[in-house]
């Protein structure tokens, strides 16, 4: 199981990571930030590594380490109960399973995205969810499972909710796990963790988004330089960007094709994320006292996705060629138009959002 976003609790006690935290906070608070941001810690994952030091804050890592971390998060959540939700977010895959499956797929000579999905199989995701939810229930730790990708993972979460009815368990999926499949996401540019799956898993994710089992949809934006996306699947870096497609995909694939209500889409992309991560005092709603952050959308505009439309640091996108109906025409930050018709406008006005937030 890989801890992907851990919060601040343990990081500050480890000198190397404490320094990294300070650097990142300075970076996101820089005067050239265009949008408001907050920081929840991202650690780079080696594509096929099972070494603890590649993805945790310690040279050794096991479930006992995770349980103690959950206890610390739970204690902090109780101490600051009135300051918004405090939780632990985790990337659920099982390292031992991944290791053996990668060896199997790599030795077979396979080099496509279907092989990557088999190398990090859905049951690895389900196994990690089962372990994490048991520990979180015992620790009393609010838990977010990030970028859920498969029907098996959804079933593991369903069983956990039945077994641990008091557990604050919330699920997230991503645009690419909804809108892409291993057959449509192209070459190694579509490599990501957890992998993009098949069409039946994508439809299972849409079902969970529609009925509320999945509460947030994210881009999991990780704009990976093109030179790190190699022809060889196994050495290619995972990850890609997609933030600009948040509303186009949800409007086109959700609203138009699956009749997902617009209010539900707004909650998936803004309302629930604000509540989940302690930002609801000012973010995630259109109401008196809230920041006037708005996305203006032409729901009928049809666009064929191409890299140059996304204003991204990466010159490619696995979504290239996807035809969407619904496109963002304007973005408003605290009442000021910062994007219109394909152009960023005015001087940067973004700010670092320090929690707890007050209205």
Q: Please, are residues 140 and 114 in contact by the beta-carbon 8 Å criterion?
A: no
φ, ψ dihedrals at 216, nearest 5°: -140, 150
Q: Where are the beta strands (DSSP E) in the chain?
A: 2-5, 88-91, 143-145, 169-174, 216-218, 294-304, 323-333, 336-340, 343-344
- Collapsing DSSP states into helix, strand and coil, what is residue 216? strand
What domains sit in the chain, N to C, each tagged with a CATH number? Answer: 2-344 (3.20.20.140)
Taking 70 as the pLDDT cut, the residues of the chain under it are 1-33, 35-61, 359
Residue 3 half-sphere exposure toward CB, CA atoms < 13 A: 23
For the segment 6-45, what is each residue's pLDDT rounded down to a tens digit?
333 333 333 444 565 566 666 655 666 676 665 544 443 4
Q: Encoding tokens for residue 186?
A: 């192209």
CA distance 311 to 71: 41
Closest CA to 202 of 224, 187, 222, 180: 180
- Cβ neighbours around 54 below 10 Å, total: 16
- Contact call for residues 260 and 209 (beta carbons, < 8 A): yes
Q: What is the pLDDT of residue 104?
A: 96
| pLDDT score recorded for residue 356 | 76
pLDDT of residue 55: 45
pLDDT of residue 42: 40
Coil, strand or helix: which one is 323? Answer: strand
Strand partners, 325: 302
Residue position matching structure tokens 């600009």: 244
* Predicted local distance difference test score (pLDDT) of residue 43: 40
Alpha-carbon dihedral sign for residues 255, 258, 260, 266: negative
Predicted confidence at residue 44, as pLDDT, reads 38
At 323-344, the pLDDT tens digits run 999 999 999 999 999 999 999 9
> In this predicted structure, what is the pLDDT of residue 162?
98
Of 200, 185, 194, which is closest to residue 218 (Cα–Cα)?
194
pTM: 0.87
State yes or no: cis peptide before 356, omega within 30 of 0: yes
- For residue 183, give every residue at least 6 positions away whose Cβ sits within 8 Å of its Cβ, in sequence order, or none: 113, 114, 198, 199
pLDDT the model gives residue 95? 86
Whether a cis peptide bond, with omega within 30° of 0, leads into 206 is no
Q: How far is CA 153 from CA 93, 157, 180, 213, 259, in A?
A: 10, 6, 17, 12, 24
295, β-bridge pairs = 331
Place of tokens 């109906």: 325
């Amino acid at each position: 199981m890989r801890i992907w976003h851990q919060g601040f609790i343990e990081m500050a006690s480890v000198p190397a990571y404490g320094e990294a935290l300070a650097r990142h906070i300075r970076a996101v608070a820089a005067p050239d930030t265009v949008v408001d941001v907050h920081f929840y810690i991202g650690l780079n994952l080696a594509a096929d590594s099972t070494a603890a030091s590649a993805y945790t804050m310690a040279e050794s890592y096991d479930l006992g380490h995770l349980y103690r971390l959950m206890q610390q998060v739970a204690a902090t959540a109780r101490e600051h109960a009135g300051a918004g939700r405090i939780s632990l977010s985790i990337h659920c895959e099982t390292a031992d399973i991944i290791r053996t499956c990668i060896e199997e797929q790599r030795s077979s000579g396979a080099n496509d995205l279907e092989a990557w999905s088999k190398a990090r199989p859905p049951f690895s995701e389900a196994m990690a969810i089962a372990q994490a939810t048991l520990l979180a229930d015992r620790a009393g730790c609010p838990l977010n499972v990030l970028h859920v990708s498969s029907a098996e993972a959804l079933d593991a979460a369903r069983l956990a909710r039945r077994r641990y009815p008091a557990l604050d368990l919330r699920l997230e999926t991503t645009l690419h796990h909804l809108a892409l499949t291993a057959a449509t996401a192209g070459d190694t540019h579509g490599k990501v963790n957890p992998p993009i799956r098949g069409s039946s898993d994508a439809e299972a994710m849409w079902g969970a988004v529609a009925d509320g089992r999945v509460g947030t949809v994210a881009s999991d934006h990780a704009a990976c330089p093109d030179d790190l996306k190699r022809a060889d699947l196994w050495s290619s870096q995972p990850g890609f960007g997609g933030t600009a497609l948040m509303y186009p995909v949800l409007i086109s694939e959700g609203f138009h094709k699956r009749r997902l209500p617009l209010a539900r889409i707004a909650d998936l992309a803004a309302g629930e994320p604000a509540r989940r991560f302690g930002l609801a005092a000012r973010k995630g709603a259109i109401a008196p006292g809230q920041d006037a952050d708005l996305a203006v959308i032409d729901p009928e505009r049809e666009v064929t996705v191409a890299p140059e439309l996304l204003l991204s640091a990466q010159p490619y996108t696995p979504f290239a060629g996807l035809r969407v109906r619904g496109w963002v025409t304007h973005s408003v930050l605290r009442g000021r138009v910062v994007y219109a018709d394909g152009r960023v406008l005015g001087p940067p006005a973004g700010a670092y959002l320090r929690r707890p937030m007050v209205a």
